[in-house]
Structure formats: C-alpha cells, structure tokens
Amino acid sequence: MRIFLTGATGYIGKRLLIQLLNNGNHVICSVRDKKRFDLSPYQTFKDQISVVENDFNDDSTLENIPQDIDIAFYLIHSMSSNADFSKAEKISARNFAKSVEKTNCKQVIYLTGIVNEKDLSKHLQSRKDVEEELKSDVYALTVLRAGIIIGSGSASFEIIRDLVEKLPVMVAPKWLKTLCQPIAIRNVIEFLTGVMGKKSTYNKHFDIAGPDVLSYKQMLKIYADERGLKRTIISVPVLSPRLSSYWLYFITSTSYVLAKNLVDSMKINVVAEKNSLAEELGLQLLTYRESLRLSFDKIEQNDVLSTWYDSFGNYRYSKDVWNFLEIPKMGVFKDRQSVRIKNEKKTLDKIFGIGGKNGWYHANFLWSLRGSIDKLFGGVGLKRGRKNSSNLGAGDSLDFWRVLYASREEKKLLLFAEMKVPGEAWLEFKIVNDILIQEATFRPLGLWGRLYWYAVLPFHGYIFKGMIKRLADEK
C-alpha cells in the first residue's frame, strides 16, 4: 500500500515509519523541512520512501501531496508551541482533511488522547476538536485515543525517569493521585498498523491502553522499585498549577510550555473505556512494569530510535533552524582552536560522543552551570542529553545544541545553539590533514549580544582550550 505519513520526524512517526517499511509499504513522508529528514537509517528501504515538504498551517504548501495514496496517518501535534496551539491545531487538521479529500485515500488514522472526562484541559479539548475537523464524507476516519505512552525517549517516560532518578525525596503536587492507564509504545505501533484497512474500525474511535490503571504516584513508585531505588513521595495540596509547572520544568527535561500543558492534563483522570479492539487484532498488551523493562533494555543497548524532543516545535528556531547551516563570516565573534592529532579514530569517537552522559570532556561544572542558568531563564538546559551515546545525525538534540550536520566520513560535526542567548551561536568540529579544528562562532544581537560575548570570553578561553586538548588526547 501507499501510505501518507505526517509527523514522520516525530517520536511516534519515526517508529511507525520503520514498521510500515518492514511491512512492505511505500511511505510518503510529509515533513515541514526536507533538510530535517535523515534518510540514513532507512537506506535498506530507500526505494520505498518518498519525502514531500508540507506545512499544514500554510495551505500554499499542500499542492504536492500525491493523488495515489491508500491510507494517511495524522500525527501532527502543536501542544509544545508557545502560540495558540489549539487554533493552530484546528487549522492544520482542516487543511489536512481538505487536501486528503482530493486524493484516492480511503482511510485516515489519527492518534490522539483519551478524552472521557466532562471537563477537559485545553490540550485534551484541542485534541478532541481536531478529531471533529478530521471527519469526512470522502474517506473513513479511525481514531485511536491513548493515555500516557511509555517507551524509551517518550515525554512521559523521560519525565518519570528524571523525577525518580534525581529526587530521593519528592514534595509533589496533589495531582499525583490522578488516575491514568499507560500503554507501551510497542502496543501503540501495533494498534496503528493493525487498524490499517480494517473496515470494522472505519468512522469509529477506540481507547487504547495497557491493563494497569495507576495513579501518577504509583507509576513513580513502580519505576523506583524496578530500578532498585528507595524514594519518598509526599503529596501537598499547596502547589498551584503554575508552581507545579515550574516544578516539572526545573527538574525534568521538558520545556515550560509543555510542562504547563501537561500539568493541566494531569489533573484529569485518563482511563480508557473498554473495547475489544486488542482482541480483534490479536495484541498482547504489556503491563506498565513490562513497558519500563523494555525501555531500560533499549537504553542499555544504546538503541533509542526516537525521542520526544526530536521535534523542533519546542524551541525558538523551529523549522528555520536549517537556515543556519551556513556559518556567517561577517559581523561575528569567533574562538578558533586547532591542534595536531595522532589517533584520528579516537578523536572522531570523542567528537561524535560529546555531550549527554559523556559530558564535554573539560570544565563540566561550567557546562552544568550554563545549563542551569539557561533553565532559569526559560531555556532547554542540558537535561535533554542525547538519545545515542556514540552516534549523531542531523536534527538530533544534544544538550542545549541542535545537530545541523554530522558526517564521520567528512570528519565534521556542526552544532547550533538552542540555549537562551542574545544572538546565534555555532560550534564546529572538523579534522583536516591530521589537524583538529574547533571553532565557536557567535553572531550578537545588538549591544546586549556584544556585552554577553565579552562577559563570557574568559570562560571560553578556559573551556575551549581544555576541551580541544581532551579531544586530541589519545587516552
């Protein structure tokens, strides 16, 4: 079958894409910027993939959607946007529906949230509104409603992980008593592929969830138990939604906007209505503990395929980040270091393993301090880390950087800063004729940008000189 896949670079989309390709389908991946789409993981299936550039909030970009598609997946989500995401989501869904109605598509499959409560958060209400916008007389709509998705790299898993791993004692908001019904990412993908072309699911919605109904507090406790950690959780009623949002934001890797929307949703029970879809599809639903164990295995094997922060929607440059591939030469400040290396492979391994748990090889306490300051001013901080400890690809997040270019063959890595900074910043590593060149470039924004550069200049001298020495070191 020919499948039209939106959200192909997102957490769910990347995992679904692999399964669709393995099943022999041809997949047309819809992305806002082709430069973001890294084909390298899919070389085995390169004849089964097409890529088109669409922005469903801009109907002038939708003329290139192929006519000959059989099924379309709608996996677009704007919750982490700073703008009015509910309005943006409606426009996006409406434009998608109108575009797909012009094709041969027989079925649209939409993954959304469980919306069984009377009073919904803004986020969940928006998801329900999108469902209404996607309904059509031309194609059949199948809606799968999921609660918390558990898998390595998922927002929910990473937040739980951050809280439990970092806090021996948690003074937590009262919404920890709220009930939810988590589902393993593996089961989500099985549901998405299982309903493809299944006429009994046309123009219907189904809640999909695992077998366990748990409070958020129980989920944290079970995680701690699985990791062999002793944790004390004290629920207090005094934390307002705003304070709760800041609590999540400073402790975990989430952005403040996402934390705020999550807190709004976490006050509402997210429990599935029973249905027989899992039995009809022959699926074995994983328990919460089983989902956690699978996630731990993926992390230990360094085999995390996608993470929630693969999406650019949370950060200030969004899709325009690719406009920064070319480092400017005029009107910039530079810190350029170079050193001759003896072991090219060792140095390349260090370059492509930089950041995350591996750290920055020198003055890590200053990197941590800069990350904390970034968080304090509403930035992403260092908590995002990296999804793979040894490999990097274009579009990957790397602490408070975004990978713009990564090629071991060309011996080059280019990073662009997503931290809060009065200007734009790049960090480039490359090896030319046994010489390692490390170059930090900063284009200041006005007077504040220039003052910022001179203020941090003494630290740069210490950090960057030490870092290049460690990169060149054979140890």
| Mean pLDDT for back-to-back runs of 10 residues, the chain (475 residues) | 91 90 94 76 86 88 92 80 70 93 96 81 80 94 92 79 82 80 94 96 96 92 91 76 68 65 71 94 95 81 53 48 75 92 93 91 91 82 79 83 88 91 92 94 89 91 92 84
Q: Which of 248, 394, 402, 182 is nearest to 313 (CA)?
A: 402
* pLDDT at residue 319, rounded to an integer: 46
* pLDDT number for residue 317: 44
The answer to whether the Cα torsion of 261, 262, 263, 264 is positive or negative is: positive
Q: What share of the chain is helix, strand, coil (3-state, %, to 5)?
A: 40, 20, 35
Over the stretch 141-181, which tens digit does the pLDDT of each residue have? 999 999 888 988 777 777 888 788 878 888 777 778 889 99
Q: Is 450 exposed, middle or buried (0-12, 13-18, 19+ CB in 10 A)?
A: middle
CA distances from 320 to 95, 104, 309, 313, 420 (A): 22, 32, 16, 11, 16
Q: Under CATH, which number does the domain 2-308 receive?
A: 3.40.50.720
Query: Cα–Cα distance between 250 and 399 in angstroms, integer?
Result: 15
Q: Is 64 exposed, middle or buried (0-12, 13-18, 19+ CB in 10 A)?
A: exposed
Strands lying side by side in the sheet with 435-444: 333-340, 435-444, 423-432, 412-417, 401-407, 397-398
Best CA proximity match to 441, nearest among 333, 360, 338, 351: 333
> Alpha carbon of 322 to those of 33, 338, 432: distances in Å?
8, 26, 24
Residue that has been written with the tokens 């509403």 in this structure: 378
> Any alpha helices (H) in 334-430, and if so which ranges?
344-351, 364-376
What is the predicted pLDDT for the residue at 314?
43
pLDDT at site 102: 94
What ranges do the domains of the chain cover? Answer: 2-308, 315-472
Place of tokens 């509104």: 129
Q: What is the pLDDT of residue 262?
A: 66
Angle subtended at Cα 398 by Cα 77 and Cα 170, rounded to the nearest 5 degrees: 75
For domain 315-472, give the fold.
Answer: Alpha-D-Glucose-1,6-Bisphosphate; Chain A, domain 4 (3.30.530)
The answer to whether 351 and 391 have CB atoms below 8 angstroms apart is no
- What does DSSP assign to residue 211? S
Q: Are 178 and 144 in contact (CB under 8 A)?
A: no
